[in-house]
């Protein structure tokens, strides 16, 4: 294989899409076909995480609004038209459901929404062969229709014929019911075709199972072998609702403690967010891992632990478990404390989901042959 094809990574964060790019086409006996030629983010911590895992990749810690395309191209050693891909997910805070309680979020008035325009600008000025943009599903909601429509129109005006679709991570082998919107476009104007679904199971919206697909990867499939594991600081769910959390069965949440279920009659029906006191169901994929959960926001592990006072308590997921549920490598390193790590991973793209999209694009561009896929991947795609 000749020199790997160059990629410009924007809003890189913890590097979920960067890992997907580097893994594209990698097999047991061959390296991947892509390399991240430059990665950028405005958070120093994100760049420290990237440096620990991508030591050969040039990085730039700078606000994208003050970053020219020429600066990115120079760091990557490229000229306009030479990047194979531009990838990235502009910060999703303006479009996340968790921000809807803020009026400026509901009305799409958050100034960070303009970062979508910055992404378009970099695509315009670097002229990659293709691009991949990802974001939270909330970007597609009616409250953000103006921003989303403008994004697609701007990319259309550049000739990239953008295609957008909300993907459920569990339907592509990720042990998590996380939905992300992907927008993909090609410089030659040909339409991108999203990869076929490979897995099926019960989700929060679908009770039908397609027997022709592989079953969802469950939480137990992903992290069961990590038990009993090594306890982490502040993992015990204690305090005001600690005892109630420990009594919630696997797969249930605070609704267990309403007058309609078998727990204590403490809460009113549907008076809290779904994730309040939520416990993992080992036989299903995890719910979405949140970047900044409150003290009572799950998913918590399905098994209890014994607290310092000798009482049974629920526990928070540990870092190795978070990595597995996000399909990051076990040896991936993250800078910062436990809260920092949760935020970085909660904002990231599951690596397996990104990889499926990247490989589909590389195949359609003619850069990747299915023979470069692993045997397991070929089975998943019915090759």
Burial 354-366 (b: 16+ CB within 10 A, else e): bbbbbbbbbbbbe
pLDDT given for residue 2 in this prediction: 54
CA atoms of 178 and 129, how far apart (whole Å): 28
- What separation in angstroms does the CA of 21 have from each of 96, 313, 355? 25, 40, 7
pLDDT given for residue 328 in this prediction: 98
Question: How large is the angle between the packed helices 69-76 and 115-126, nearest 10 degrees?
Answer: 60
User: Where in the chain are the domains?
Assistant: 5-212+332-380, 231-317
> For the chain, what's the residue count?
383
pLDDT given for residue 378 in this prediction: 53
Q: Output phi, psi for 9, to 5 deg.
A: -110, 120
Neighbouring residues of 273: CB distance < 8 A, sequence distance ≥ 6: 297
CB 209 within 8 A of CB 202: yes
DSSP string, 267-332: S-TT-S-TTBT-B--TTS-B-PPPSS--TTBSPBPSS-EE-TTS-EE-BPPPHHHHHHHTT--TT-
pLDDT given for residue 1 in this prediction: 40
pLDDT given for residue 108 in this prediction: 41
CA atoms of 358 and 264, how far apart (whole Å): 48
- What separation in angstroms does the CA of 6 have from each of 21, 211, 298, 331? 10, 39, 38, 24
pLDDT given for residue 107 in this prediction: 41
Query: How far does the chain reach from its first CA to its final CA, in angstroms?
Result: 22
DSSP string, 63-89: -GGG--HHHHHHHHT--TT--SEEEE-
Which of the following is catalytic: 33, 92, 169, 326? 92
Token look-up 């069961």 returns 224
> Residues of the chain whose pLDDT is less than 50?
1, 95-112, 374-376, 379, 382-383
pLDDT given for residue 203 in this prediction: 81
CB 362 within 8 A of CB 85: no
92 annotated active-site? yes
CA atoms of 11 and 132, how far apart (whole Å): 12
CA atoms of 377 and 32, how far apart (whole Å): 14
CB 64 within 8 A of CB 122: yes
Token look-up 């979405």 returns 288
pLDDT given for residue 110 in this prediction: 47
Cβ atoms within 10 Å, residue 169: 27
The CATH superfamily label for domain 5-212+332-380 reads Vaccinia Virus protein VP39 (3.40.50.150)
Largest distance between two CA atoms of the chain: 65
The continuous run of DSSP H or E covering 219 comes out as helix 219-223
pLDDT given for residue 208 in this prediction: 86
314-317 contacts: CB < 8 A, separation 24 or more? 314/236, 314/237, 314/242, 314/245, 314/246, 314/248, 314/277, 314/279, 315/235, 315/236, 315/237, 316/232, 316/234, 316/235, 316/236, 316/237, 317/223, 317/280, 317/289
């Amino acid at each position: 294989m000749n020199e790997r094809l160059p990629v410009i990574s924007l809003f890189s964060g913890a590097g979920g899409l960067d890992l997907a790019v580097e893994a594209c086409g990698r097999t047991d006996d061959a390296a991947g076909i892509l390399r991240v030629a430059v990665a950028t983010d405005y958070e120093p911590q994100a760049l420290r995480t990237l440096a620990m895992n991508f030591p050969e990749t040039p990085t730039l810690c700078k606000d994208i609004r003050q970053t020219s395309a020429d600066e990115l191209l120079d760091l990557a050693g490229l000229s306009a038209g030479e990047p194979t891909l531009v990838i990235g997910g502009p910060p999703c805070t303006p479009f996340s459901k968790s921000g809807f309680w803020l009026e400026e979020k509901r009305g799409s008035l958050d100034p960070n929404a303009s970062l979508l325009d910055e992404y378009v600008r970099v695509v315009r000025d670097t002229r990659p062969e293709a691009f991949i943009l990802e974001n939270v599903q909330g970007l597609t909601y009616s409250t953000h229709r103006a921003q989303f429509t403008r994004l697609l129109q701007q990319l259309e005006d550049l000739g990239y014929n953008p295609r957008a679709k909300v993907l459920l991570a569990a339907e592509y082998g990720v042990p998590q019911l996380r939905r992300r919107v992907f927008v993909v476009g090609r410089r030659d104007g040909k339409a991108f075709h999203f990869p076929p679904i490979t897995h099926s199971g019960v989700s929060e919206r679908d009770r039908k199972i397609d027997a022709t697909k592989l079953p969802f990867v469950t939480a137990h499939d992903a992290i069961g072998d990590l038990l009993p594991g090594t306890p982490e600081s502040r993992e015990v769910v204690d305090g005001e609702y600690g005892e109630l959390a420990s009594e919630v069965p696997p797969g249930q949440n605070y609704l267990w403690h309403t007058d309609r279920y078998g727990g204590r009659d403490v809460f009113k029906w549907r008076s809290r967010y779904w994730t309040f006191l939520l416990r993992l169901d080992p036989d299903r994929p995890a719910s979405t891992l949140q970047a900044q959960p409150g003290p009572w926001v799950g998913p918590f592990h399905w098994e209890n632990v014994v607290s310092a006072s000798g009482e049974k308590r629920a526990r928070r997921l540990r870092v190795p478990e978070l990595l597995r549920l996000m399909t990051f490598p076990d040896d991936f390193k993250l800078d910062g404390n436990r809260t920092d790590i949760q935020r970085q991973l909660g904002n990231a793209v599951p690596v397996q989901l990104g990889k499926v999209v990247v490989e589909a694009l590389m195949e359609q561009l003619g850069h990747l042959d299915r023979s470069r896929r692993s045997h397991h991947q070929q089975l998943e795609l019915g090759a």
